[in-house]
Amino acid sequence: MIYLDYAATAPMRECALDAMNDVMRHAWGNPSSIHEEGARAKAVLEDARERIAAILGCRPSEFLFTSGGTESDSTALLSAAEAGRRAGHRHIVTSAIEHHAVLRPLEKLAKNGFDVTELRPDGDGMISTEAVRDAIRQDTCLVSVMTANNETGVLQPVGEIGELCRARGIPFHTDAVQTAGHLPTLPAEIGCDTLAVSAHKFGGPRGAGFLYVRRGAPLTPLLLGGNQERGRRAGTENVAAIAGMTAALEESVHAMQGEAERLTVLRDRLAAGLLAIPRSVLNGHPAKRLPNNVNVSFEGVEGEPLILLLDERGIRASSGAACSAGALEPSHVLTAMGQPPELAVGSLRLTLGPDTDEAAVDLTVEAVRDVVRRLRSQSPDWQAKCEGKKAFLIEN
Ligand X SMILES: *Cc1c(COP(=O)(O)O)cnc(C)c1O
Please identify every residue annotated as catalytic. Answer: 323
Task: Name the minimum Å distance from CB 147 to ligand X.
Answer: 8
Min CB(160)–ligand X separation in Å: 19
27, 94, 95, 175: which one binds ligand X (CB under 6 A) = 175
Nearer to ligand X, 97 or 345 (CB): 97
Q: Which of 94, 179, 198, 335 binds ligand X (CB under 6 A)?
A: 198
Q: Which stretch binds ligand X (CB under 6 A): 68-76, 184-192, 240-248, 293-301?
A: 68-76
Residue number with CB closer to ligand X (171 or 320): 320
Among the listed residues 10, 131, 141, 177, the single contact to ligand X using CB under 6 A: 177
Under the criterion CB under 6 A, does residue 121 sit at the interface with ligand X? no
Residue 68 is a binding residue for ligand X (CB under 6 A)? yes
- Contact between 225 and 234 under an 8 Å Cβ cutoff? The reply is yes
Kindly report the number of other CB atoms within 10 A of residue 389's CB atom. 10
Give the binding range for ligand X (CB under 6 A) out of 66-74, 111-119, 238-246, 322-330: 66-74
> How many residues at the interface with ligand X, by CB under 6 A?
14
Contact between 179 and ligand X by CB under 6 A: the answer reads no
For residues 127 to 146, the per-residue mask of contacts with ligand X, x marking binding by CB under 6 A and - elsewhere, is -------------------x
What's the min distance (Å) between Cβ of 325 and ligand X? 22
Contacts of ligand X in 205-234 (CB under 6 A) = 209
In three-state form (DSSP H/G/I as H, E/B as E, the rest C), the secondary structure along the chain is CEECECCCCCCCCHHHHHHHHHHHHHCCCCCCCCCHHHHHHHHHHHHHHHHHHHHHCCCHHHEEEECCHHHHHHHHHHHHHHHHHHHCCCEEEEECCCCHHHHHHHHHHHHCCCEEEEECCCCCCCCCHHHHHHHCCCCEEEEECCCECCCCCEECCHHHHHHHHHHHCCCEEEECCCCCCCCCCCHHHHCCCEEEEEHHHCCCCCCCEEEEECCCCCCCCCCCCCCHHHHCCCCCCCHHHHHHHHHHHHHHHHHHHHHHHHHHHHHHHHHHHHHCCCCEEECCCCCCECCCEEEEEECCCCHHHHHHHHHHCCEECECCCEEECCEEECCHHHHHCCCCHHHHCCEEEEECCCCCCHHHHHHHHHHHHHHHHHHHHCCHHHHHHHHHHHHHHHHC
Measured from the CB atom, the residue of 75 and 198 that comes closer to ligand X is: 198
Q: Does the footprint of ligand X cover residue 99 (CB under 6 A)?
A: yes
Applying CB under 6 A, among 95, 117, 150, 295 the residue interacting with ligand X is 150
What x-and-dash track marks residues 352-371 binding ligand X by CB under 6 A?
Answer: --------------------
Question: Of 163-171, 195-203, 238-246, 261-269, which part binds ligand X (CB under 6 A)?
Answer: 195-203
CA distance 323 to 379: 19
User: Under the criterion CB under 6 A, does residue 153 sit at the interface with ligand X?
Assistant: no
Least Cβ distance, residue 307 to ligand X (angstroms): 18
- Between CA 328 and CA 351 the distance in angstroms is 22
- Residue 178 binding ligand X, by CB under 6 A: yes
Q: Which residues pair with 65 in a beta bridge?
A: 210
Q: Which is nearer to ligand X, 210 or 298 (CB)?
A: 210
Determine if 101 is a binding residue for ligand X (CB under 6 A): yes
The window from 194-202, 216-224, 268-276, 368-376 that contacts ligand X (CB under 6 A) reads: 194-202
- 330 makes contact with ligand X (CB under 6 A): no
Q: What's the CA gap between 259 and 252, in Å, rounded?
A: 9
- Residue 282 CB, shortest distance to ligand X, in Å, is 20
Interface residues with ligand X (CB under 6 A)?
A: 68-70, 99, 101, 146, 150, 175, 177-178, 198, 200-201, 209
